[in-house]
């Protein structure tokens, strides 16, 4: 299931503005990789290039290579819609479909992919909700609107929705920044469980969170406002937080700027 991501020489633009420049990195399967860095350094933009969501922004454009195992996501003839079915995404603000029930939210991705029998669908929905540690809280209200859940539950519902289609990679764009500490803890625990099945990439502003959940950490920075964001270094999380090889990383982590 889980696949390796291998990025080389990737640039992303908004119109003529170069937002991130020349990024190369490898993300191992069944691991959690965290992206940290100051605001505007391009970590979210980079995350969105990994499932071709960057190009849905008007003017968004990418060059370079993103290999998912041996398939280039930006190769000729690759359908971005198919890429997004393979690389799931969870957003900063919980965004369940407001007009759908809890059940339909989880089933939404499956329904895009084709016909399922009712019993198969029930199984996948239950499995996904269990996988997102949400089943016990919502099993009695599967037919109630998803927007009626609490913020933390909504975010786990979004995770259930993303994993229901069995993606190879799960991207998370600051998934806890809109949540309280208890809900955050629930999501972090969940990330620990999910990494056994998926390759996970998480953008976070919270360095403690990066230290808690990730195996590897990538630090992004930009020289100045208006300059492109760059990958400064990527290494084992323990090393990044104890003995980074670049001075800027240490400055950022110890709170000397950013």
Q: How many residues bind another protein (CB under 8 A)?
A: 31
Applying CB under 8 A, which of residues 11, 30, 78, 91 lies at the interface with another protein? Answer: 91
Which of 167, 172, 157, 161 is closest to 48 using CA atoms? Answer: 172
Contact call for residue 100 and another protein (CB under 8 A)? yes
Q: Rounded distance, CA 134 to CA 138, Å?
A: 6
Part in contact with another protein (CB under 8 A); list of ranges 18-26, 28-36, 98-106, 233-241: 98-106
Which of 156, 137, 157, 136 is closest to 146 using CA atoms? Answer: 157
Applying CB under 8 A, which of residues 3, 43, 156, 161 lies at the interface with another protein? Answer: 161
The dihedrals phi and psi of 200, each to the nearest 5 degrees, come to -120, 135
Q: Which is nearer to another protein, 147 or 206 (CB)?
A: 147
Q: Rounded distance, CA 145 to CA 143, Å?
A: 7
Contact call for residue 3 and another protein (CB under 8 A)? no
Query: Which residues between 52 and 81 bind another protein (CB under 8 A)?
Result: 53, 56, 58, 81
Which of 96, 180, 179, 102 is closest to 135 using CA atoms? Answer: 102
Residues that bind another protein (CB under 8 A): 51, 53, 56, 58, 81-86, 88-89, 91, 93, 95-100, 108-109, 112-113, 145, 147-148, 158, 161-162, 165
């Amino acid at each position: 299931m889980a696949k390796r991501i291998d990025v080389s020489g990737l640039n992303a633009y908004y119109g003529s503005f170069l937002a991130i420049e020349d990024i190369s990195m490898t993300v191992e399967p069944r691991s959690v990789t965290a992206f940290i860095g100051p605001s505007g350094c391009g970590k979210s933009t980079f995350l969105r290039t990994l499932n071709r969501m960057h190009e849905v922004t008007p003017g968004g454009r990418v060059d370079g290579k993103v290999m998912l195992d041996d398939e280039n996501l930006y190769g000729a003839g690759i359908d971005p819609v198919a890429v997004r079915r393979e690389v799931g995404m969870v957003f900063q603000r919980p965004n369940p479909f407001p007009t759908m029930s809890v059940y339909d939210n989880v089933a939404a991705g499956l329904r895009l992919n084709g016909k399922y029998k009712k019993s198969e669908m029930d199984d996948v929905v239950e499995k996904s909700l269990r996988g997102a540690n949400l089943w016990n809280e919502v099993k009695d209200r599967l037919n109630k609107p998803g927007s009626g859940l609490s913020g933390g539950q909504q975010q786990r519902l979004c995770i259930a929705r993303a994993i229901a289609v069995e993606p190879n990679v799960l991207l998370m764009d600051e998934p806890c920044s809109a949540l309280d500490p208890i809900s955050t803890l629930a999501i972090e625990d969940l990330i620990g469980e999910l990494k056994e099945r998926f390759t996970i990439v998480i953008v976070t502003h919270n360095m403690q969170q990066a230290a808690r959940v990730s195996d590897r950490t990538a630090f992004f920075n930009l020289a100045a406002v208006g300059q492109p964001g760059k990958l400064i270094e990527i290494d084992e999380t323990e090393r990044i937080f104890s003995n980074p090889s670049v001075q800027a990383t240490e400055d950022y982590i110890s709170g000397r700027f950013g």
